[in-house]
Amino acid sequence: MSTSRSRPELPLDGILVLDFSQFLAGPVAAMRLADLGARVIKIERPNGGDIGRTLAFAGLETDGDTLSFHIMNRNKESFAADLKNSEGLAQVWKLVEKADVIIQNFRPGVIERLGLGYEEVKKVNPNIIYASATGYGSVGPFRDRPGQDLLAQSISGLPWLNGTAEDPPVPMGLAVADIFTSTHLAHGVTALLLRRERTGVGGLVESSLLEAMLDLQFELISANLFDPNVIVKRGASNSAHAFLPAPYGLYQTQDGYLAIAMTPIPHLGELLGVDLHAYEDPKSWWSDQETIMNALSSRLTLHTTEHWLAILDAADIWCAPVLTLPELVAHEGFKALDMTQETKRTGHDGISEVSVWTTRSPMRIDGRPVKSTKGAPHVGEDTEKIRTEFNL
């Protein structure tokens, strides 16, 4: 256990995490633990470090590292070690002996070939919590395929849920498989830490991009398991859910878009000035989805989003404006959540200060947002300090 960078007000203060992972799912899982107070030491190659340092998000970078690396590796230290070198590996093993948690996301079999698989680690540290993320699990025909977000989305069938009946498959415009996997991995780690606190027993938690995507679709998969005749049937051009009836969807207005969720169709028609009394039976909201949504669409284009919101909000209808990213960031609702934080580190020149604005942890602990100003480390930035501290 470690007390370095102690933050006693946070629940994972004193927990030492070794982060062997790269790019997104694993590093973000470790970041989530760091945000909650854990000390995270990132184990990196001496030359180049995490490949995520060079894979630029939107082509953005600063101080020699990509923006994505900066925001995914805040609150961490970096220890440079060549795991194929006996001396470097021996030093890492000493850290393993003292660690509470290990996170890795190599392809199946790679970490075992390096000698740092769970079975070997628990022989020297039986209390370890070992977290492993893969693309598609450690067994099955997908096992050795490249574990990448778009590929996992595609195998899971998720792109068939997006868009409408006339669209081709539409993937999510985010690394949703990686992000959800990171959440499940961090969740599993905290659950095993609690079990260890009660029983003294360590453990292994595993998840994968594909499993995260299947869990995301649990409603739809369950419906098919219940009735194999249930398949994805994307709806009208406004539809926002493959299995929900009208009016659930997005509608163009005179100056933007409006989202409308579950609402009784006749009542909605009255509010908007559309005659929909023929659809009193809720079953018709599904069977006649396209007709209903086309009628709503024709009406909603006649006035602005704010015009319709004033009417629908007053009637407590479940609706919302569809904001662009600039509109969201400028909105008072975004500012009220206090969702941003500024991280800082010393630049490569050893003099300048490099700051990066990013989002904070989405949690509040004891009523306060969880924030930290420590930016992502340079490759091996903390190696000598850690060697001295742990007598490596």
- 44 bridge partner residues: 80
Give the pair of three-digit tokens for residue 30.
Answer: 């470790």
The one-letter amino acid at 16: L
- 101 bridge partner residues: 17, 129
- 365 bridge partner residues: 368
* Angstrom distance (rounded) from CA 21 to CA 209: 14
Q: 341 with 373: CB under 8 angstroms?
A: yes
* DSSP-assigned states of every residue in 307-364: HHHHHHHHTT--EEE---HHHHHHSHHHHHHT-EEEEEEE-TTSSSEEEEEEE--S-E
* Angstrom distance (rounded) from CA 28 to CA 26: 5
Q: Nearest CA to 359 among 32, 82, 115?
A: 32
Given the residues 65, 178, 288, 382, select the one marked as catalytic. Answer: 178
178 tagged catalytic = yes
Catalytic positions, written as ranges: 178
